Amino acid sequence: MASSGMYSNRGPKIHIKYDFRSDTVTVPTDAMKAAMIQAPVGDDVFGEDESVKALEAHVAKLTGFPSALFICLRTHLLQPPHTIIADSRSHILNYEAAGTALHSQAQVTPVSPLPGFNYLTAAAIQPHLVVDDDVHHAPTRVIELENTLGGEVMPLEAMREIRALANKHNIKVHLDGARLWNACVASGLTLKDYCSLCDSVSLCLSKGLGAPVGSVLVGSTPFVNKARHFRKLFGGGMRQIGMLGAAGLFAIEHHWPQMKGVHENAQYLASQLSKLGFKVSRKTETNMVWFEEGATGVGIDDIQNAASEKGIAMLGARGTECRLVLHHQVPREAIESLLDPSNNLKAGIVGLPNVGKSSFFNALTNSSVPAENFPYCTIDPAESRVAVPDPRFDWLCEHYKPASKVPAWLTVFDIAGLTKGAHEGQGLGNAFLSHIRAVDGILHLTRAFEDSDIVHVEGEIDPVRDLAIIHEELRLKDEEQLNKLVSSKKGEVNRLGSGGSVADKAKKEEFEILSKIHKWVTEEKKDVRQGTWNNKEIEVINPLQLLTAKPVVYLCNLSERDYSRKKNKWLPKIKGYIDANYPGDVLIPYSGILEMKLAAMETPEEKQAYLTELTAKYEAPAPVQSALSKIIITGYQALQLIYFFTAGPDEVRAWTIRKQTKAPQAAGTIHTDFEKTFIQAEVMKYDDLKELGNEAAVRAGGKYLMKGREYVVDDGDIMYFKAGDAKKK
């Protein structure tokens, strides 16, 4: 079940591997625990705890204040009557159980930032100040600021203007600096820079810094002495707390320096969400990423449920937004796991340098990856999703007029160009080959036109040679992998001897299969995908992620003229090479120049006018059309993917599955509980629904089908699932 509120602390108990809910979930590291165990302790009420005194002195020095106090609560108190000016989004106003009102009896006046600002300014605060002695009003005594707020940094200049306003009216300024550590890292300023503009500051140790508990309150010596009295008054006088003081000091010295990396991870997460079609709704300045569904049609609840299945915790939506919080215990692999749904299959664009891969990627995905005339312009693979065009999906949307439309998606990677010797590591080859290993299928691109402005790494155009170079590099890398694997397994099997247990016999059988695959690649010099393998052999092949086992679609980049005329001297030779060596594989001609021009045009009418112009200009035998839709569909099919639909007035959605998927596993793509408790599937064929017009007519015609566990889903099935209660045993 998805969490209903941004800060809800209710929910099912789950095993959590990575936690994006908040930076409050950080836990002490082993090194911090060791520092706590070794910490000297004393009675802090008597001022005898050296560890706490060291923490207080260190924070006072960092902030530029004369005194500091370690506390477990951060409540700022003055005697009434008075008001506190606070940001309407502030933590003390919204998330402290009305503690300010209870403890200080003060009235909090919420102030919202002015339009165009994401932080308070003096201009926003000025109209809300109460500075007269009218007995009907509670005078303003404190302006409470928060930095960061929602992960966004309040500029120092804005704080300086508010300080000047406060000075003018003899008003105190208190800073909730729970995440001021983050603000310093993001801005490059020091704690002193910010704290010099405040009368008092509270700094949390237990959020991003990762200490188990506590904050440090800094201010003038009389102020801190008074705060010490209040700490005692509220039951906060603590005795031997040196271990907590040591944890705080350890956090500042060891975890604060790691915060820059945390912010970089947040930036990476935001960029990946944006690439996937989500709307990043606020600036990602520190460790918080705020996003909305955008154009993806993927609900935040869907993301949360999928994440939960992987042991990843995140909070639900607050309104239309969702917040993900990064900290030092959320590594980059957690982000990759969060963003990589189990059925998100990938196609990689592969070829030599300067054949038009990045330009094709940009046109296909409407992206802006650099495409320059030099090798290795692309180093890290770019990633984007493209919707799979399907008239069946379009018809269902027109028929049901749903509130939400979610098509099938194909994830595409732009992988840097390979060169001869890549399998030996030349030209960053090992890195690029590892990128290919991570995808599920290959879009193999070659160039078949001359252009003096575009350098070819082999000196001259020969697309057949180029195809052979790439194929041989992939095969040689598989050969290298299989040589090592067979060598290591051979000794292990020889040590088993004859006979043996069932497990020993299974190992021997696996080695025989591995040897067969090895011979196929190294002696027969063939791609794994060309072989005929039984189910047992496929079980051995799949975990190896062999490069030559991946399905391939061939793309031939033509000039605009040749593509329009459907004539090119290389096309017959390329087709002959593919038919001779890889029979059954598909070759799709396209024009990268044409596709880039079309991508830059703003309206369908403008694009169609240009295509019509090309048809006439080159006397094309058929109307010139973009090849992108065909490439997307063919790439999707090459991955052995199909999809079924769920359809109704709320949503029409295409669900991606592999061919030969049975009904329970198809139900599991919607929610894993549906697979576990599957009862039956209700199925309509798309053609039947379109022909008969509505569900009632399909039922009346006897074509509304009830299917059980063994039903193999057909491409385009419209399905509804019945499942039991997952909670029942």
CB 464 within 8 A of CB 573: yes
Going by the DSSP 8-state scheme, the letter that residue 618 receives in this structure is: T
Q: Is 666 exposed, middle or buried (0-12, 13-18, 19+ CB in 10 A)?
A: buried
CB 76 within 8 A of CB 174: yes
354 labelled binding-site residue: yes
Residue 654 phi/psi, 5° resolution? -100, 125
**Angstrom distance (rounded) from CA 726 to CA 436:** 39
Going by the DSSP 8-state scheme, the letter that residue 79 receives in this structure is: P
358 labelled binding-site residue: yes
β-pair partners for 70? 216
515 labelled binding-site residue: no
In the structure encoding, which two tokens stand for residue 691, read together?
């022909």
List of E strands, 369-408: 382-387, 404-406
Tell me the DSSP string of 416-435. PPP-TTGGGTGGGHHHHHHH
Return the H-helix or E-strand segment holding 104.
helix 99-104
Q: Is 277 left (phi over 0), alpha (psi -120 to 50) or beta?
A: left
What angle, 0 to 180 degrees and rounded to 10, lies between the N-to-C axes of helices 502-522 and 463-494? 150
388 labelled binding-site residue: no
Residue 443 phi/psi, 5° resolution? -100, 100
Residue 546 phi/psi, 5° resolution? -65, 140
- CA torsion, points 235, 236, 242, 243, in degrees to nearest 10? 90
Q: Is 348 exposed, middle or buried (0-12, 13-18, 19+ CB in 10 A)?
A: buried
73 labelled binding-site residue: no
**Angstrom distance (rounded) from CA 525 to CA 110:** 73
Tokens 């391939």, residue?
552
CB 276 within 8 A of CB 81: no
558 labelled binding-site residue: yes
359 labelled binding-site residue: yes
SS3 readout for 106-170: CEEEEECCCCCCCCCCHHHHHHHCCCCCCCCCCCEEEEEEECCECCECCCHHHHHHHHHHHHHCC
Going by the DSSP 8-state scheme, the letter that residue 204 receives in this structure is: E
Specify binding-site residues for ATP: 354-359, 558
Specify binding-site residues: 354-359, 558
